[in-house]
Amino acid sequence: MQNVQQLEELMTKPSKGLIEDIRKVEGDILIVGVGGKMGPTLAKKAKRAIDEAGIDKKVVGVSRFSSGNLKEELEEAGIETITADLMNEEQLAALPKLPNVIYMAGNKFGTAGNEHYTWAMNTYLPGRIAEHFSGSRIVAFSTGNVYPLVPVNKGGCDESHPVGPVGEYGQSSLGRERVLTYFSYRDQTPLTIFRLNYAIDMRYGVLLEIAKAVYHSTSIDLSMGHVNVIWQGDANEYAIRSLSIASSPPTLLNVTGPETLPVRWIAKQFSKRFGKEPVFKGQEQETALLNNAGKAHQLFGYPSVSIHEMLDWTANWVMNNGETINKPTHFQERKGQY
């Protein structure tokens, strides 16, 4: 994998399972918040699955499209676009009420000092969305940050684990889930709450951050000593297929890879590939933010891309100075301050 075109070709290739499921989900698909890190490839993957299924179904992406050429890029891929500010009541009310909605909008980074905006985006807006799309089937992106930090030797939190978010981003994300759940009960809206962490794209993500630190001999903080990761293409696939399991009361779904990965081990894997010794600071703690996605793997199969493939691809990307997105994950954060 040498460039963004090859990366996106691989990331947006639909599986047979996705093609079969997209045949079963009736109606067009609206992706609300398509302009984020995952939205563009999710939209393209959905469109490719529809085309390969040979069915007549639209994919429509909603975003502010305030910078860059994403609007044109999506339209070239056959995806219809709508420019809208979701916090503008008139623009929200004008959105078409399509049968299937993948809701990706939210705010995480920049929460510290701007908490009111994060709460408005993550808790107030979902209620407005739920009211507007009360007749639709919804997959709502959430986060593993709704769970507490748990012992690293316990296998991570499954969907039955009590929530306990640390910090205002996690708290507001739980608020989003609670508000959406209220409307799911009230209006019998089929809903999947999609608790994701951490998606991996060669251009950003936990693996890229650790790889760059090893490659450039900068220090790696071990205080959050263990992580989960999943290939973004697999996460997007699970999201689209989660339309088929939406229900009222809502379906909860953790989404990540099958391994609990020590940050130290990841760094040493890159050390082997780069021939450079990692530099560590701090010490691993007994707890970390960890999810158990066994339910998702049972429903949709194990991720198609293994951790060693992701390590190889990330190492090659860094050594070849591949294009990156300056959106750090802050996976090291233990106090929930983003």
The DSSP 8-state label assigned to residue 249 in this structure reads S
The DSSP 8-state label assigned to residue 335 in this structure reads S
In a domain, 277, yes or no: no
Residue 23's domain comprises 4-199+232-258+288-303
pLDDT score at 66? 87
Res. 326: pLDDT tops 90: no
Domain containing 130 — which CATH number? Answer: 3.40.50.720
- Residues 196-205, mean pLDDT to the nearest whole number: 95
In a domain, 247, yes or no: yes
pLDDT score at 104? 98
In a domain, 66, yes or no: yes
pLDDT in tens, 79-114: 999 999 999 999 999 999 999 999 999 998 877 788
In a domain, 30, yes or no: yes
Cα–Cα distance, 10 to 8 (Å, whole number): 5
In a domain, 94, yes or no: yes
In a domain, 68, yes or no: yes
- Residues 30-37, mean pLDDT to the nearest whole number: 96
In a domain, 125, yes or no: yes
Please give the C-alpha separations between residue 332 and each of 84, 240, 285, 336, in angstroms, as whole numbers. 34, 29, 11, 10
pLDDT in tens, 56-88: 999 999 999 988 899 999 999 999 999 999 999
In a domain, 99, yes or no: yes
How many CB atoms within 10 Å of residue 217? 11
How far is CA 15 from its chain centroid? 18
Quote the pTM value. Answer: 0.96
pLDDT in tens, 229-255: 999 999 999 999 999 999 999 999 999
DSSP lists the bridge partners of residue 59 as 29
Looking at the structure of the chain, the number of domains it has is: 1
